[in-house]
Structure 1
Amino acid sequence: MSGSVEHPGEGRALGGPLTRAGRLVADHRLLLGVAAAVVGVLVGAAAVLFDAMIRGWTRASTGFEEYTRHIGQDHGLWGWPAWVVLLLSPVAAALVYGPLVQRFAPSARGHGIPEVMLAVRRKGGRIPGRIAVVKLIASSLTIGAGGSAGREGPIVQVGASLGSALATRLGLPTSRIVLLASCGAAGGIAATFHAPLAGAVFALEVILTRFTAESFGFVVVSAVTASVVARAVQGDEVVIAVAGPLEFSSLTDMWWVALLGLVAGLTGLGFSKLLYLVEDGIDAVWTRTGLPEWSRPAVLGIGLGAGLVAFPHMYGSGYPLEEAALAGEYSVGFLLLLMAGRALYTSYTIGIGGSGGVFAPTLFIGAMAGAAYGRIIDPVADSYVGVFGVIGMGAAFAGAARAPMTAVLIIVEMTGQFSLIMPMMLAVVVATGASRFLTRSTIYTEKLRRRGDVLDDPVEGTLLGAKPVAQWMGPVPEALDSSLPLSAAVEALRRTREPSLPVVDGSGAFVGTISALDAAVLRHEDASANSPLAELPLGADAARESDGPATVLERLRRTGLTALPVLGEDRRVVGWVSQRDLVDRMYRDQRRAIDARRQSSWGSRFQERHRPR
């Protein structure tokens, strides 16, 4: 018997019954690894396509594949004046992606990663496949037309959608849909930033938020496969090129690094607060216009275009500017201007309904803050300005997202500066600590918190979670009419083997409950067997459909009852909660844990079969 990786009782995917191929994948880790690799290939190809789409639309909009290398120049193909290009490009793109997103995938608006986190932790990993298509188009138009946004959020959402779609098509159980969706997210980061290890850690630290040897193995397979596909097409180059290896010159500079961790961490945290402050302001203004939501990116895109005319350095992702800052080419004043501009332009791009990530802008802001810091302390520090710029990138992301391991790994993989791991770790820890001290939410979870979606509620880890009783109550065993005699109630209790039963009137409304103990006491007190239930003292305790587990359990504990009826708004009995059902639920949960503990490998089964007797 093969070692199953499926837990009993898990729900099947909504896509249909488990297919033969799905059964094989669900029951064999090797085939699940193959599925993870397939997800990696798909996501790697999607990342390559996404990059080509951004470059293509940038070229169509400006005549160049990377406008920030040609700032201020007229259109490279048709010679249009630069101010016309910058003013109209965001509007033209928004006229396409605005209606597209509103009609087919509203969740494709914004930076994408919060939606993936919600789907993985609350919706069984199920992400509609159409989101991948809409997100690719909308984000490539947003970034290619000048929107100040990153590529990581879109490709994470695309990758998770592809992984979820494959798992759903196979009909895999919920835990495997979640796993393959996370594999897709890991592959997206790995392929986009050429950072397979950071991609795997990102999936575990930000998306899944739990580490197991099994899940780590699968996301690594997907991340490595996606990275191989991207590198095979795009070349084996770092995303942000730094002139020569950067050396951390002196251990005495660790004091400066610790201070930079605080400064850059607060800068990243400040950006996350500004992002939602601007979004709130835009929402308030747009609500008063009465215009349709699909037109919002185009109408407000005029403001983005005007901003680009005034400060064209904010066009697109701005990687060339980061490289120049790390090379020490800019003054402190201009670095701070770039930092503030990126924070404001990204907030506006996302606020008007653009589709793009906030990961890359956070790194940009951190690079500028770190480089400016390096220039200020240059007379007293031994290390080069670029060292502090690279460390600032990681610290800013840690302050905004509180993902310290991802922050360390992705920066050193993006830049190839592996020698900076030690100071990077210190700065990232300081930034994470400062962020956690000042706020509960991150740049990703804040979006969910503001609309009422809580990811890390401790109550969710309990057996019944936070679900109202209506979602976990059992069926009513039998409702007794209040006109029935006591003898009929005794017979019903004997027949159903229930300790108590609800009593209702002629209209079906709840009157009370009668238990076997109540019936015995009444008979002992010489109550007539023919006495109608309506004339007898009945229990009045009941639960409402909206009551939570704590309320129901407290009532059972306080009253000493073995069961409670659940009442709807019209006081009709709609469900039943009994101690027997709760014990059964506890037993099934325990069995799932025991079965999971018994999972074995092919090697252990081989040894058991061939063990000398």
Structure 2
Amino acid sequence: MLKIAALALPVGAAGAVAALGLLRLIGLVTNLVFYQRWNASLVAPGLVHHPWWLVLSAPVAGGLAVGLMARYGSEKIRGHGMPEAIEAILTGGSRVAPKVAVLKPISAAISIGTGGPFGAEGPIIMTGGAIGSMLAQLLHLTADERKTLLVAGASAGMAATFNSPLAAVLLAVELLLFEWRPRSFVPVAASVAVATVCRGLLLGTAPVFPVTTTGLHLTAPVEVLAAVVGLTGGALAVGATWLVYRAEDAFAKIPFHWMWWPAIGGAVIGLGGLVEPRALGVGYDVIDQLLTGRAALSLIIGILVVKTLIWSLSLGSGTSGGVLAPVFMIGGALGAWEGMLFPTVIPGFWAMCGLAAVVGGVMRSPLTGVVFTLELTHAWGAMLPLLIASTAAYALSALVLKRSVLTEKIARRGLHLTREYSTDPLETFFVHEVMHRSPVTLGADQVLDSALLDRLARNPAARRQAHIPVLGPDGPIGVTTMRRLHVHADSALVAVAGHTARPLQATARTHNTLRQVAYLFAEHRLTSAPVVDAEGRVVGLIALPDLLHARRHDLTEEHHRQRLLPNPTLPPDSASTATSSTSGAGSVA
């Protein structure tokens, strides 16, 4: 852990520099395309009137450039970054090609800088992850250690982009790590800390979208309305996710190469830009107006409708760009629109609730949605309504949609992915609770005569045992089977049990968990093993079917319902009888 944490420190610094570089590159492309000037400051399209032909053609040209880079450079630059990082972790041994670290930010800068309604965070995740992965590939590390450094780089880029260290760590836990262990959490947190410090030196420590919280007073009606914002935000998240994948299905039916799809998506973007120019680009300025209560109704409706449509439809084309900033903008617009009907709390309050809700619904990461909103605005007093809104949206999304905007893409690539975390039942049982006690054993020098074989054949315990431990003077020396005993007994004049034994590969201890035994079986390709005590004596036998005991117990706890306290409407005797019979059914299960 400490070694990987030390390696994560320079990865964090590199991730921060990469994030700053990508933001500057996006600013440079935007200035060149829409303002015809050489300037790397981040600026949005649509601040001034642009010729219609520029608004329409710039996204098409950008999409064509991305398509060419994907076809002749690396197809891994397609998409919004997070599914690609997840796929590298799940199936690629956390290996990311060096060219992806170069092509991904360039393609994203072109896509966003020419008007694409995407965020920089997805490409930064892929770029930062590529930095961590490349460092890991240069060293003699395991796949899990490479994964940790990949996620450390990705989280560092996120933290440096939004000055949101805790949200970046939560994003790693909820979306990328697939575990909660010190070996991965500590290095990721160390990387994020370094990235945030570097971000402060490069861009300052102020919140990205500062909100004035003077006069913030929360009442019960406000928190109830926060749940309303959460449910509507969840519905919007469901609709946008559905639209993304319907668009992807539609593009898949187009009868020519996918290289051209981003250009078609660019045409959709251009048409939307003609209707609402402020929907183009990464849109940090619009998010700021929404979260500070300065957005006009026309801008709110334009963003809510146009941004949702062009983002969903163009993302399905396979172009390069992230999802967080568009989700921030869409959610903020929804909340700001509803805030015109709800009581005033502070400027931008309902936009914050909408932002947290749509992040929780689209990304299926409710805690990340809450903490992101708090770190972006520093409106710490709004934590409870943000939690209510984000959780309500998450619950609705989970009930209506089988997968999120991230996991659906992974599933379409033939991978199964779950986001539900629970205690492994194999960790809650020990060997001594499920093993076969006092198994049938044989001494190594025991002669295999017909009387012995006959006794074993009549012994029910021996028939149930797949393997029979063979004991030497100092403990078990191997295992045998009934078939091997009969074969040796028939082929030799004098055969002993020791001749039939296969060398002992492993033994289990009574205090081992079933998970440790499962790993033991997998490592040595075993289906059973003798169980020995502290002195090395065989006290039991554990086999592969015994591991299912924990799963059966887990199923019983999940599905079996029973009344444990008497029902006051029933006579005492009948309630006691119902309870005892239910309990008995549970023990059988």
Deviation track 1:209-237 (CA, whole Å, cap 9, x = no partner) reads 32223432211111111122223122223
1:454 paired with 2:447, answer no
The equivalent of 1:444 in structure 2 is 406
Shift of 1:283: 2.2
What is the CA-CA distance between 1:193 and the residue it aligns to?
0.8
> Are 1:45 and 2:6 matched, yes or no?
no
Find the counterpart in structure 2 of residue 361 from structure 1: 326
Supply the distance in 1 between the matched residues of 2:531 and 2:32 (Cα, whole angstroms).
61
Per-residue CA deviation, residues 180-201 of structure 1 (Å, 9 max, x unaligned), is: 1111121111011110111111
Distance 1:453 1:578 in 2: 24
- Selected match of 1:235 from 187, 195, 204: 204
| Count of residue correspondences | 446
Query: Counterpart amino acid of 2:390?
Result: V
Distance 1:129 1:422, change over 3 A: same
- Quick one: which amino acid aligns to residue 389 of structure 2? A
Deviations 1:516-551 (A, max 9, x none): 467579889xxxxxxxxxxxxxxxxxxxxxxxxxxx
Q: What does residue range 151-300 of structure 1 map to in structure 2 within 5 Å?
A: 151-242=120-211, 247-284=216-253, 286=254, 288=255, 290=256, 292-300=257-265
SS in 2 for 1:132: helix
CA–CA separation in structure 2 for the residues paired with 1:53 and 1:580: 52
Cα distance in 2 between the residues matched to 1:193 and 1:520 = 72
Instruction: Kindly state the Cα deviation for residue 310 of structure 1 after the two structures are TM-superposed.
Output: 3.1
CA positional deviation for 1:412 = 0.8
Unaligned runs of 5+ in 2: 427-466, 468-481, 493-521, 533-589
Q: Structure 1 residues 580 and 208 mapped into 2: Cα distance closer, same or farther (>3 Å)?
A: closer
1:16-47 deviation per Cα after TM superposition (whole angstroms, max 9, x unaligned) = xxxxxxxxxxxxx1x43221111001110100
CA distance in 2, matches of 1:123, 1:177: 11
- Aligned partner of 1:32: which letter? I
* Whole-angstrom distance in 2 between the partners of 1:586 and 1:144: 65
| Structure 1 position 328 matched with structure 2 position 297 | no
User: Residues of 2 paired with 1:128 and 1:152: CA distance?
Assistant: 19
Write the mapping of 1:338-357 to structure 2, written as runs, cut at 5 A.
338-357=303-322
Give the direction of change, closer, same or farther, for the CA distance of 1:336–1:155 in structure 2 (3 Å limit).
Answer: same
Matched, 1:149 2:118: yes
| Residue 282 of structure 2, aligned match among 314, 317, 321 | 317
Task: Tell whether 2:378 aligns with 1:416.
Answer: yes
Residues 8 and 191 of structure 2 are in contact (CA less than 8 Å); yes or no, is this contact kept in structure 1?
Answer: yes
Q: Report how far residue 135 of structure 1 moved.
A: 0.5
Structure 1 residues 430 and 166, CA, compared in 2 at 3 Å: closer, same or farther? Answer: same
Conserved 8 A contact 1:269-1:396: no
Aligned pair partner of 2:96 in 127, 141, 161: 127
Aligned: 1:105 with 2:74: yes
Counterpart residue number, 2:444:
none
Letter in 2 for 1:424: L
Q: Name the CA shift for 1:91/1:213 in 2 (closer, same or farther; >3 Å).
A: same
Which residue pairs with 1:305 in the alignment?
Answer: 270
Tell me the residue number matched to 1:557.
Answer: none
Is 1:115 aligned with 2:80? no
Amino acid at match of 2:5: G
Aligned to 1:58: 30
Does the C-alpha gap of structure 1 residues 440 and 225 become closer, same or farther in structure 2, counting only changes over 3 Å? same
Matches of 2:531 and 2:243 in 1, distance apart? 46
Equivalent of residue 56 in structure 2, options 87, 98, 101: 87
- After superposition, give the CA deviation of every residue in 1:466-522 in whole Å (9 maximum; x if it has no partner): xxxxxxxxxxxxxxxxxxxxxxxxxxxxxxxxx9xxxxxxxxxxxxxx964675798
Q: Residue 268 of structure 1 contacts residue 396 of structure 1 at CA under 8 Å; is this kept in 2?
A: yes
How many angstroms apart in 1 are the aligned matches of 2:530 and 2:414? 28
| Residue 429 (structure 1) aligns with | 391
Amino acid at match of 2:374: V
Hey, what's the Cα distance between the residues in 1 that align with 2:102 and 2:373?
Answer: 29
Q: Distance in 2 between matches of 1:183 and 1:578?
A: 29
Contact 1:149 1:317 in 2 (8 A): yes
Aligned to 2:551: none
Alpha-carbon separation, structure 2, partners of 1:51 and 1:586: 60
Given the superposition, is the C-alpha separation of residues 376 and 149 from structure 1 closer, same or farther in structure 2, using an over 3 Å criterion?
same
Task: Specify the alignment match of 2:439 in structure 1.
Answer: none
Deviation at 1:265, TM superposition (A): 2.0
1:314-334: CA deviations, max 9, x gaps? Answer: 110112222222333445565
TM-score by length of 2: 0.69
- Kindly tell me: are residues 449 and 359 of structure 1, through their superposed partners in 2, closer, same or farther at Cα, counting changes over 3 Å? same
Contact 1:274 1:343 in 2 (8 A): no
> Which residue identity is paired with 1:413?
E
CA RMSD of aligned residues (A): 3.2
CA contact (8 A) 1:401 1:444 kept: yes
Q: Flag the 1:279–1:383 CA change in 2: closer, same or farther, 3 A.
A: same
Task: Name the residue aligned to 2:354.
Answer: 392
3-state DSSP class of the match of 2:340?
helix
Preserved CA contact (<8 Å) 2:366 2:391: yes
Alignment of 1:71 onto 2:47: yes
Judged with a 3 Å threshold, the aligned counterparts in structure 2 of structure 1 residues 178 and 73 are, in CA distance, closer, same or farther, namely: same
Q: What's the secondary structure of 1:376's corresponding residue?
A: coil
Q: Distance in 1 between matches of 2:249 and 2:530?
A: 44
Which amino acid letter does the alignment assign opposite residue 10 of structure 2? V
Contact 2:301 / 2:333 at 8 angstroms: preserved in 1? yes
Which range is displaced more, 336-345 or 237-246?
237-246
**Closer, same or farther: CA 131–580 of 1 in aligned 2, 3 Å:** closer
Shift of 1:281: 1.6
SS at match of 1:36: helix
1:609 is aligned to: none
TM-score normalized with structure 1 length: 0.67
Structure 2: how far apart are the matches of 1:341 and 1:580? 57
- Structure 1 gaps of 5+ residues are 6-28, 75-81, 464-498, 500-513, 525-576, 588-613
2-structure distance, mates of 1:408, 1:149: 21
What amino acid is the match of 1:40? G
Q: How does 1:11-22 map to 2 (within 5 A)?
A: none
**Equivalent AA in structure 2 for residue 62 of structure 1:** F
